[in-house]
Each structure stands twice: as C-alpha cells, then as structure tokens.
A and B are shown apart, each in its own frame.
Chain A
Amino acid sequence: MSSIELKNVSCSYDGGKTYALKNIDMSMDKEGRYSLLGPSGCGKTTLLKIIAGILEYEGEVFFNGENMRDVPIEERDIAMVFQSPVVYPMTVYDNLIFPIRRKNSSMKEKEKKVQEIADLLGLGSILKAQAHKLGPAEMQTVALGRSLIKDAKILLLDEPLTSIEAEKRLILRTKIKRIQEEEQKIFIYVTHDQTEALTLSDKIAVMDDGRIVQFDTKERIYDRPAHLFVGYFMGSPGMNILEGKVKAGRMHFRDFELPIPPEYKEYLAKHGEFKLGMRPENFIFSKTEKKDFFLFNCIDIQEKGEGVRVLYLKSKDGYNELKAVGTFADIKAGEKVWVHFPIEELRVYDKKSEQIVA
C-alpha cells in the first residue's frame, strides 16, 4: 500500500514575505484518485511540485512513512505529466521506451511493456511517427504513456488537458479514466475545472489562497461544503448565500423566516447572526400559496442547455436574491412563485469565519 502524508507544509517564493502555501496538512493514505482543485494562484501546482520533489519547502513530506526531505526527484517513486505536453524529438516508440532503456531487463520484456502501454492508450498505429510532429492531444497521450511505463506508484497530473484542443479533451479524459481503472496507484490530478475533478477523482482537495479549504469525498464536498468558498466554487451556479439573524427561535431573513434545523440549534442559541447556504438545485416550487412556502418574484430565467434553466428570484420585498437550477417547465420570467426550503438541505455557516457549523 502506498501513502503520502504532508505535515505543516508551507512554501514561499520570495524568501518568506508571502506564502504560496500555508501550513498544509494532508494525508492520502492509500491508492486512489485524488484532485487538487482551485482557481489560478491558489497554490495547487506548487503543492504538486513539492510532492514531486522539485521545490524547496518548509514542513515534512512522507511517502509510505519515509521522510522525503533529502530524496531527489529521480529516487522518488513518481511520474509526472505536465500542462504542456513534453516529448523528445524521436519516434513515439523511442519516447515510450526511453524511461526504461537502462533498466535491468531483457529487450523483449521492454518491448512487451511498450506494446502494453501503446495498446492501453491507442498509440499502436503511430509508434513509428515522430512524436514532436504530432498534434497536442497525441503528444500528451505519448507523455502520459511515458509516465506510465516506469510503473511508478504515484502519478502526478498537472492540468494535462488544459492545452489540448477542446474537441480532443474527451478522448484524453477517457484514456486517463481507463488508466485509473486499470492501474493501482495514487493519482493526483491538478485542475481548475470542477468537471475534471468530479470525473477523475474520488477525493478532492479544494484550495484557495495557499490553503486546503476542504479535503473530502466528492459527495461531501458538494453536499456539505465545509466553507462558503467551497459552496461558491463547486456547482454552477454555486451555493446561494443568505445573511440571517436569530429571532424567537427562528432564522430571520427580513422578508421571510425559516425554522432552525436541529443540528444547528445549539450553535444558533449562542450566535445571533449567521450565514445560510443552500444549493440552487434543492428548492421546491409551487405556483400557488402554500404553508411553509415563501413568495418570490422570478425576475429572469436563463436557459443553460440540456433542458436545464436558472431562475433568478427576489424575495417578496426584494431583500434576498436566490438562484435556482432545474427544468422548471411551467415557470415564466415575471411570475410570482412560492419557494420551499427543505430543512435537511440547509447549511449554517459562521458569519465571520464562513466555516460550516459542525
């Protein structure tokens, strides 16, 4: 079993004035598919480079319990694929065999290994082509193949699809997924694209401003964002955020009020102000007035494609704005609608720290 553990890892590019990474603690305790997800400048590539061993850092990094402080990149059991495809100016075959050319095994075995990788990635028909003359998607496939041939236990992928033509990304994404299904490794995938993270990993570390804001299964990242940033960043549109006050044992939002979900009772008994998070997919609508439904005006509707629409809603007196996502075939812009907030879908966050109330 392989594992990676980071303890209090920080990194500065300017001698300590500012930190690109701040006190990262993270444990990937078995083989599996992991993603580092965040906007540009959040520190995700910096973190990947530290794991690869190509950046100085503060704190400790362990592979399988062993401190990697003085272990150079070539002695770490890792392979890496970069954002821009890196291939050598030689044939695809020679590119693939390059990392194992000095390996202590017979030529026959090496050729067999190249053939296996070529079959897995569909490179069989272009083995004799010059790698550096291929298109970006094929070049990246070759780079991917070369990273697999060493049988490294850790595969690091740094936005491998970003510089690929849009229409070929699907093919490459499918190949990466196939590798993930067939090879037992720690896969760490760096991306700013939530679809890639959700498709190509089981656990996601959402990063912002040099920190890991949440490291969790993709289901929990979506369902229980630990911080409002995660709620905003994941989802399209992201989580609705409302500012509320506690009055007489209920949550007040100026022109409507909701009961307090049981799990937040203790916290809201001590805190008068809070923020409420609610996924735009989870509202229930009525065209007529009903108990526990609140009046909103639908001010705009946008088609999002695939039959999905986004409703832009304003509360009765205009104090609160919401976005709702769904099919909503019978709601029109300009109409009044009554909105229900299912209590089990409400998430309460601390007003100042914006952390979820546990």
Chain B
Amino acid sequence: MATLRLEGIEKSFSGNKVLNDISIEIEEETFTVILGPAGAGKTTLLKIISGTLKPDKGKIYLGDRDITAVRPRDRRIAMISQEYNLYPNLTAYENIASPLRAEKAPGSEVDKKVKKQADILGISDLLDKKPHELSGGQCQRVALGRALIKDADIYLLDEPLTGLDYKLREGMTHELKEILSAEHLKKVVLLYAAPNYEEAISMSEKTILLINGNILWQGDTIDAYHTPPNIDFAKNFYSPPMNLFDCKLKEKDGELSLYVSDEINLKANLLKKELVENEYVLGLKTYTFHFEQKEEGLMAITFNLTLADVTPAGTVLHLEYKGKPMSGFFHYPKDFKRGPIKLFVRPQDFFIFGKENGKLLMKYRGVQ
C-alpha cells in the first residue's frame, strides 16, 4: 500500500513562509496534479516529499511508515525536475541508465530496462546521442525515461511540459497521459506539478490547488471544473478566472431577487427558503456568453471591451463591468473593436456562492 500522507508540513526560507500547514493524502492509482502559479510553493513541496529539502514542521508518511527522517535515496521516490538536469557528457542511454548504475544493477538488466523504457517513450533511435544533439522535446523524454526507469513507490513530475514550446506541449499532454498509465506505474503515487489548469483537466483525476503556500482546495478535477465548489476555486482554478459579481437579496413590491444591477438580477421568489443571507456572489463561466438574443429569457449585459485576444481555438474578450475586470470566451476566432459591447447570458448559467463562507450554494435554477 503506497498511500502518501503529509501532516502539517511547513517551510520557510529566510523568514518567508512558503508552505503553510500542508496536509494531504494521495492514494496510489490516482493521478494527482498540484496546481498553482509560479511561486505558489509547488517545487518546494515536491522537494520535501523527495527528501532533498527538510520541512520545518510536519510529518511525511508512506503507507504507515514515517519517512520524514529517511534519506532521499532510501525513500523509493523518483523525481523529474523542470530543467531536466541531464548529464551533458553522457548519452541518452547512459542518462536513462544512471539510476540503475547507481544501484549497481547488473548490465544485462540495465540494458533490458533501458531499451524497454526507450521503446515506450519512442526514443529507441536516439539512445546514442548526447543531450546537446537532442531537441527540447527529446531531452524531456530522456529525463522522463530516467525518472520512470526507477522502480519507485512515488513519481514526482515538476512541470515537465513547461520548458517545451506550445506545439510540443500540445502533443505531449496526450502522450504523457498514455506513458503514465503504463502497467508498471499502476501501483504507485503519481504527483504532477502544473502551472495551468489545462494540464490539470487534460490529465489528472485529482487536483490540489496550491496558492501562496496554502492548499485552497483538493478533490476530483473534472467534477470541480464543471461545478466550482467555492469562490477560492472559481478565482484561482480557471484561467482566465470565473467572472464573479457581488449581489444583494432585494425585495421590491413583493418580488425577491438577487440583485447586482438593473441589468443583472435573478428572480428569487421560489428560492426564498434557501436564500437565508443578505449577500451572495454570482459566478459566471467565461464561455457562457452569447452575442445575440438567440432564445427567450436571455439577460443583456453591457461590458466595456478592453482587448480581444484571437486564438485559433477562439477569442478571449477582456472585459470590464463597473470597473472590475472580467472575461469572455467564444469558440470561434473573431476580431472585435474595443469599447462598449452587449453580451447575452442565460440566467441558469449563474452559480450562486455564499458571500460569507464562499461555498457554492447552487446553480441558479431557471425561474426567471
């Protein structure tokens, strides 16, 4: 049983706290991503798990065994760092073989394992080459091979795609997912640090959202991607973040509504029992806008458009509503003029969060 458990891990560098009371439990056979922007503490956390950094406080368990004081090379952990750190004077073959050489494994076993690993990674014909003769993507595979050849209980991958250009990254997310689901990696803990949510949702089953050294949320990636569990998640998981509007529960002429402005308000008579607070936050995903009143009951909202970013997958509109930055996403590329822009929204696309506790109360039920 290879469950990895951290209890109250803390770490400071020269008085700056970079990890604060980190408690997590990661089961084997679940692909877990630690998601957070640069500087969130992801690498520090991975180094503490691998044993190359000592925590100031807290315990690390592998199964029932306390490994906090165990030396890195006795932990049965393999790590691939963001910079790959290949040995420049060794061939790809010897780079991949190096962890086995360090364990003084017999040559025939090394050869068999290196060749099998190279085959999985599609680099069999590159084994004689040295790192400077390889492209970024090829170096990355060699580094992966070197990490995966070790028979470990825990594999740590620190932003393995970040150094690649976007074309390579695009192909690698799918390939990496296949490589990491190989049979011999079934009974292990896979922990993957990612800087953006696209990597988390395209690969992982579980996500740990790490912001400024604090765990803001952890749970099932895809469920939460569809139904954001709380405001912290809505603000930090998506990129661009979910649009959030402060609103008040307002009663006028016997009609109850969740009121942001004259344009944005949701009828709430039927939700009277559930809406016990005075203030809420409405959340709206960036891709739920429409350009036209294409069906009845859509709400028209006028934003100020500051920039339209055109990507082949679609257009990102950078918007302002009453001075607050927002964004919209459309699934086709189109250029827009800066200035006021009217967009349409379905009332039932709004999420209602508690203002005080930040928790998701419900998705608005179309009682407009």
Contact = CB atoms under 8 A, between A and B. Distances in A.
B210 to A, nearest CB: 17
A305 B285 contact: no
Given A173-B307, A177-B307, A181-B338, A303 B333 contact: no
Interface string B329-350: 1011100001000000000000
B165 A199 contact: no
Interface in B158-177: 165-167, 170-171, 173-174, 177
B201 A305 contact: yes
B331 A174 contact: no
B313 interface: yes
B111 interface: no
A305 B239 contact: yes
B324 to A, nearest CB: 15
Interface in B259-313: 285-287, 306-313
Interface string A225-240: 0000000111111100
A289 interface: no
Interface in B221-265: 222, 225, 238-239
A40 B307 CA distance: 27
B333 A198 contact: yes
Contacts of B314: 306, 308
A308 B174 contact: no
B344 to A, nearest CB: 16
A168 to B, nearest CB: 13
A109 B310 CA distance: 38
A306 B286 contact: yes
Contacts of B331: 306-308, 326-327
Given A302-B202, A303-B222, A304-B198, A39 B167 contact: yes
Interface string A107-122: 0000000000000000
B318 interface: yes
A222 B222 contact: no
A222 B312 contact: yes
B201 A236 contact: no
A20 interface: no
A2 interface: no
A312 B174 contact: yes
B197 interface: yes
A300 interface: yes
Contacts of A193: 166
Contacts of A195: 309-311
B312 A199 contact: no
Chain A contact residues: helix, strand, loop or mixed: mixed
B71 to A, nearest CB: 37
B312 A198 contact: yes
Contact of A303 (B170, B201, B309, B313): B201
B177 A300 contact: yes
Contacts of A199: 307-310
Interface residues of A, number: 38
Nearest to B310: A198
A149 interface: no
Interface in B15-71: 38
A173 B174 contact: no
Contacts of B238: 305
Contacts of A238: 167, 170
Nearest to A202: B335
A325 interface: yes
Interface in B119-173: 165-167, 170-171, 173
B314 to A, nearest CB: 7
Interface in A304-327: 304-308, 310, 312, 325-327
Contacts of B310: 195, 198-199, 218
A47 to B, nearest CB: 19
A23 interface: no
A235 B201 contact: no
A211 interface: no
Contacts of A336: none
A210 B222 CA distance: 43
Given A307-B285, A307-B287, A236 B222 contact: no
Nearest to B178: A300
A90 interface: no
A174 B286 CA distance: 19
Contact of A302 (B174, B287, B329, B338): B174
Contacts of A305: 197-198, 201, 238-239
A325 B171 CA distance: 14
Given A300-B174, A326-B331, A234 B198 contact: no
Interface of A: 39-40, 166, 170, 173-174, 177-178, 181, 192-195, 198-199, 218, 222, 232-238, 281, 300, 302-308, 310, 312, 325-327
Interface of B: 38, 165-167, 170-171, 173-174, 177, 197-198, 201-203, 222, 225, 238-239, 285-287, 306-314, 318, 329, 331-333, 338
5 contacts: A170-B307, A177-B338, A198-B333, A236-B313, A305-B197
Given A302-B203, A307-B285, 5 more contacts: A181-B338, A193-B166, A198-B333, A232-B167, A302-B202
